[in-house]
Amino acid sequence: MIREIRVIQGPTGLFVSFPAKKQRDGTHRQLAYPANAETRMMIQRAILAEYEKVVGGSDQVRSDSQKVNSDSDDR
């Protein structure tokens, strides 16, 4: 299970942000990430499709980011 995957509204549309932890020096370290670009796109398509179902297809985004938990047990 991966927690704290976020759907974020960017300048070109929605995208998926994977969990990261802010380091003491101000940089961010990714905690979970896809193995390659193809896997990233597959995961992003699945998450954004589910997000659209939950939001109802509207352009409304409740905040800058909307947490979406991915739970492999549901599949």
The pLDDT tens digits of the residues spanning 43-56 come to 899 999 999 998 87
Question: Rounded distance, CA 44 to CA 47, Å?
Answer: 5
CA 44 – CA 52 distance, rounded (Å) = 12
pLDDT tens-place string over residues 22-72:
889 989 887 887 889 999 899 899 999 999 998 875 655 444 344 444 444
Given this model, what pLDDT does residue 57 score?
59
The pLDDT of residue 11 is above 90 = yes
DSSP string of 14-53, one letter each residue: EEEE--EEE-TTS-EEESS--SSHHHHHHHHHHHHHHHHH
Q: Whole-model pTM?
A: 0.61
> How is residue 75 written in tokens?
């599949």
CA dist 53 and 55 (Å) reads: 6
Domain residue spans of the chain? 1-19+30-54
